[in-house]
Amino acid sequence: MPFIMTRINVGDFDAWKQSFDKDLPRARETAKGYRLFRNLEDPGEVFVQVEFATSADAQTARDRLRSSGVLKRFADKSGPSVVEEVESVRR
């Protein structure tokens, strides 16, 4: 299962979330779903995991996100990276 993983320091989470929900780059247009994670010690640090049915869909979404320029406003970031799950353990 392919995913896009991105880590960004958004500063004001609530303001960023409003923009995220609009999905202007259409990066989540074909997504099966997504998960957001926040750092407990730094609530402005956000991890975004977006799930896709195919790697082609994930790569298209990543390219849309990159070309949109929306991530350029964040100096502290990594990704977006297209990744696949290799192992999952739940207890």
- Domains of the chain, earliest start first: 2-84 (3.30.70.100)
Give the residue-averaged pLDDT of 54-77: 95
The pLDDT tens digits of the residues spanning 23-48 come to 999 999 999 999 999 999 999 999 99
Q: What is the mean pLDDT of residues 49-66?
A: 97
pLDDT at 10: 96
Tokens of 53: 């049915």
Which residues fall within 8 angstroms of residue 60, CB to CB, at 6 or more apart? 30
What pLDDT is recorded for position 39?
A: 97
pLDDT of residue 81: 96
What pLDDT band is residue 91 in, cutting at 50, 70 and 90? very high
pLDDT of residue 41: 96
